[in-house]
Amino acid sequence: AVRALSKGQLGDIVAVNLKFRSGSLFGEQVRWRRHERENRMLLFDYGIHLVDIAILFLGSVKSIRFVDADVDTAGIQRVVFGTLHQNGARGVFDLMVDASSTSTEIEVLGESAGLSLQFFPQGFRMLPARDNPLHRGLAEARRLFDFARDTLVEKLTRPKCPHRASSHAFLFKAFIDSLRGQQSNPVPGKDVLETIQLLDEVALRAYAAPARTLSTEEPSLDLPNGGKPAWAAKQDRVGE
C-alpha cells in the first residue's frame, strides 16, 4: 500500500475511511483492558494503531469536523469522527467495541485509484473503477491463500519471530539502529504526537457525552427547567 502511494498510483488522496469492530472487552484476559472508561481502550489501545496508518495516507490534520459517540457507564461503545487535513483530504473513522461481528478495514481513495486494506488476517487490493463480487472474491481467495501459506511455513520452520510480529520486529530494530546513530528514526516523534493529540481531542469530546441509562418511564415532551434557559434555572436554584 505504501509503495502504491509512493509511486503515485493513487494520485492525490481525497478520502480515507476506517472501520474497526472489536469483540466484547469482557472477554479480555487482562483485567485492566475490560475497563474502557478508565483506560480508554477503544481509542488509545485499539484505535491508535489504525488511525496512525490512516494519517500516513491523509497527511497532517487541520481540524476535527465532528465527533459522535455512544457512551454508557462502562465507557465508549462506539465513536465516529471526521477530520479535515492540510491537503484538503477528509477522513472518517468509525470505531466500535462489543460488536457482534469483528472486522477491520481501511479504504483509501485517491484521484486516480483507490485501495482497500484488511486486517486479521491482513489483505490488500487495488480497487477497480467499479467494485464487484468477482474482484472481491479473487482478492479474498488470495488473502486466504497467503494466510494459509504463512501459517504452514511458520509451523514447519518455527522462526524466531512469528510472521504476525514481523512488522513490529522490523520497527523495533530500526528504532534501536536509530539510537545507535545508524539510521534515522523510522517513526518521528512529531508524527506520534500528532496522532495522540488528535485522539486526545476526540476523547475529550466523546467522554463529555452523558452516559446512556435505560429507563422504563414514558417519554415526555416537557422541556427541562420548565422551558427556562440553563442560566436562568441556575439563578433560580441559587436564589432558593
Task: Record the pTM.
Answer: 0.75
Rounded CA separation 61/95 (Å): 18
| Burial status of residue 211 (CB atoms within 10 A of its CB: 0-12, 13-18, 19 or more) | exposed
**Binning pLDDT at 50, 70 and 90, where does residue 132 land?**
confident
pLDDT value, residue 155: 83
pLDDT value, residue 213: 47
Q: The C-alpha cell of 61 is what?
A: 490534520
Lowest mean pLDDT among 51-65, 127-141, 157-171: 157-171
Check the CA dihedral 8-13-15-21 and report its sign: positive
For 144-150, which contacts have Cβ atoms below 8 Å and span 24 or more sequence positions? 146/121, 146/122, 147/121
Residue 115 contacts residue 10 (beta carbons within 8 Å): yes
Summarised one tens digit per residue, pLDDT across range 52-110 is: 999 999 999 999 999 999 888 777 889 999 999 999 999 999 999 888 888 899 999 99
